Amino acid sequence: MPDLNPTQYAVPLFVVAVLAEMIWAKLRAPQAYEPKDTLVSLSFGLGSTIAGALLGGFAVAVFLKAYEYRIFDFGPEWWAVWWAWPVCFVLDDLKYYWVHRAGHRIRWMWASHVNHHSSQHYNLSTALRQTWTGPLTFGFLFAVPLVLLGFHPAMIAICGGFNLIYQFWIHTEAIKRMPAWFEAVMNTPSHHRVHHATNPRYLDTNYAGVFIVWDKMFGTFTPEVDDEKIRYGIVKQLGSFNLLWAVFHEWIGILTDVWRAPWKHKLSYLLREPGWSHDGSRETSDMIRAKWQARSGGPVAPQATSVADRNAIAGGAEAA
Amino acid sequence: MSLPPLLVQSAGSLAAILALAALARWLKLGGHPGLSDEAMLRRAAEEIVDGFEVADFSLAADRTAALVRDPEGRIMLIRLHGSRHVGRIISPLASARAHGNILEVDCREPRFGVTRLELEDAEAWAAAINAVGRGRDA
């Protein structure tokens, strides 16, 4: 059985790439980096690795148990079934799309994923701004169907590792557009800048990991507009470089809201979209976008919104 | 004695993190031009709350913070945060104290901190901020 953790081997590449982008920033865009923000983002990356090692055991146990009930069996040497690797990679990326979308539409999951979005900068260090609290959500359950199909948990983990490595390079402003054919199929810096934007037209779009085709298929794709400056971060920017506050602020917000809310609304603060409130005192991303459209006559929200409205986990969300 | 791989890996990563952060500092990356003029304030306010229209404003002497008001009377505090800016609509929880030209605004929000502004009309802004929400409660 292959014992491979691709992200572990990619760390030196990450360091060199961040270094190169810093030099680019020095020459072309010094404000693309902010030392304190960089320190927080990179610390997120380190903490995430440690948290994953310490807390990931439960997910592994669930996967190994589920694997016992697999529908198809690739045999004892499953890693030698060559075609299973690309199939697993594509299906894992489809899984990523949905877990990522849920991460923006369910506050419980957003509490963890918001960590990746809380920087007001968009550079390669932002890519390493990974959550510490992922194991506290149920995101790993989205992979169970792949396990039940017969893909070994190790194969899924390796494919997921390469997926994460792919997503590293798209966190940059140094690349404007890739060739048209590439932009059409793959997730790119341009598509992912949109995903990290808080501009109303961009909220909750472009959830793709590797293949942007999922957003086009499920109606959540929005192209980058050249004449509008992108603002990165979250709707309510943190205003603090405190690492622990950045890690836990949304969890604390949920606990506070659940504590204060009337009984019939408590669960909604956990399961409904970020920005939702029982008294209408806050704004979801759909509300922000609707106001912007009414004011500016902007284009109708991406098809995504209509699809999302029909979807059980949808409804609106805070920035992403 | 062999160290656990996770510990070795974490120590290496920590060293790389500190080196990169130090390099960013050494390269003098970041920095902010300051809230230079009314046009920039308008853009900043619009970025913080989409559609926020500035009807009235006061810019701190050092241009690191400002208070703006929209036609509906909502007050927004804007301040620099690294090489970006952040802001908050003043809520009934917020409070302000004026000492001569110095105004201290506390949004009463964890980790957002107290913002200090040197303004010519500090007293008037303090009164306006402390009055937020009073009409509603009356």
Predicted pLDDT of residue A138? 87
**Residue B120 to chain A, least CA–CA distance (Å):** 25
At A215-230, the pLDDT tens digits run: 999 999 999 999 999 9
A315: confidence class by pLDDT, cuts 50, 70, 90: very low
A129: confidence class by pLDDT, cuts 50, 70, 90: very high
CB B97 within 8 A of CB B130: no
Mean pLDDT, residues B52-77 taken together? 95
**Residue A38 to chain B, least CA–CA distance (Å):** 6
Is B113's Cβ below 8 Å from some Cβ in A?
yes
Does residue B98 have a pLDDT over 90?
Answer: yes
Rounded percentage of chain A residues whose pLDDT exceeds 90: 85
From the list A171, A165, A152, A199, the residue with the least C-alpha distance to A37 is A171
Is B91's Cβ below 8 Å from some Cβ in A?
no
Q: Which of these CATH numbers, 1.20.5, 2.60.40, 3.40.50, 2.30.29, describes B38-137?
A: 2.30.29
A16 contacts on B by Cβ (under 8 Å): none
A310 or A248, higher pLDDT: A248
From the list A116, A120, A133, A111, the residue with the least C-alpha distance to A240 is A120
Mean pLDDT, residues B78-101 taken together? 94
Q: Give percent helix, percent strand, percent coil of chain A, each to the nearest 5.
A: 60, 0, 40
At B6-45, the pLDDT tens digits run: 788 888 888 989 999 999 999 999 988 788 889 999 999 9
Beta bridge partners of B76: B68, B89
At A134-181, the pLDDT tens digits run: 989 989 999 999 999 999 999 999 999 999 999 999 999 999 999 999
Rounded Cα distance, A269 and A278, in Å: 8
Predicted pLDDT of residue A84? 97
A120 contacts on B by Cβ (under 8 Å): 81-82, 84, 86
What 8-state DSSP symbol labels residue B91? P
What 8-state DSSP symbol labels residue A87? H
Task: Give the strand pairing for B65-69 and B75-81.
Answer: antiparallel
Predicted pLDDT of residue B21? 92
| Interface pTM, i.e. ipTM | 0.90
Q: What single string gives the DSSP state of each residue in A107-170?
A: HHHHHHHHHHH--S--SHHHHT---S-GGGSSGGGGGHHHHHHT--HHHHHHHHHHHHHHHHTT
Share the mean pLDDT of chain A: 91
Is B24's Cβ below 8 Å from some Cβ in A?
yes
Rounded Cα distance, A254 and A251, in Å: 5
Mean pLDDT, residues B72-101 taken together? 94
Rounded Cα distance, B114 and A238, in Å: 14
CB A29 within 8 A of CB A37: no
- HSE-up (13 A, CA, CB side) for residue B61: 10
**Ramachandran category for residue A72: left, alpha or beta (phi over 0 → left; psi -120 to 50 → alpha):** beta
Predicted pLDDT of residue A301? 55
A304: confidence class by pLDDT, cuts 50, 70, 90: very low
B82–A33 C-beta distance less than 8 A:
no
A310: confidence class by pLDDT, cuts 50, 70, 90: very low
In the numeric block, the tokens 């341009």 are attached to: A190
Task: Put the strands of the sheet holding B114-118 in their side by side order.
Answer: B95-99, B102-106, B114-118
A305: confidence class by pLDDT, cuts 50, 70, 90: very low
Rounded Cα distance, A123 and A26, in Å: 13
**Residue A138 to chain B, least CA–CA distance (Å):** 25
A311: confidence class by pLDDT, cuts 50, 70, 90: very low
A50–B6 C-beta distance less than 8 A:
yes
Distance, CA of A173 to chain centre: 18
DSSP, collapsed to helix, strand or coil, labels residue A128 as coil
Cα radius of gyration rounded to whole Å, chain B: 20
Identify the residue among B14, B17, B27, B115 best suited for mutation to test binding to A, counting A beta carbons within 10 A and taking the highest. Answer: B17
Identify the residue among B8, B25, B40, B83 best suited for mutation to test binding to A, counting A beta carbons within 10 A and taking the highest. Answer: B83
From the list A45, A57, A61, the residue with the least C-alpha distance to A7 is A45
Q: Where are the domains of chain B?
A: 1-30, 38-137
Is B6's Cβ below 8 Å from some Cβ in A?
yes
Beta bridge partners of B69: B56, B75
At A48-105, the pLDDT tens digits run: 989 988 888 899 999 999 999 999 999 999 999 999 999 999 999 999 999 999 999 9
A227 or B2, higher pLDDT: A227
What 8-state DSSP symbol labels residue A232? B
Rounded Cα distance, B138 and B135, in Å: 5
Q: What single string gives the DSSP state of each residue in A173-218?
A: SS-----HHHHHHB--HHHHHHHTB-SGGGTT----SSBTHHHHHH
Predicted pLDDT of residue B110? 83
**Residue A49 to chain B, least CA–CA distance (Å):** 8
Mean pLDDT, residues B86-108 taken together? 95
Angle between helix A57-67 and A153-168 (nearest 10): 130
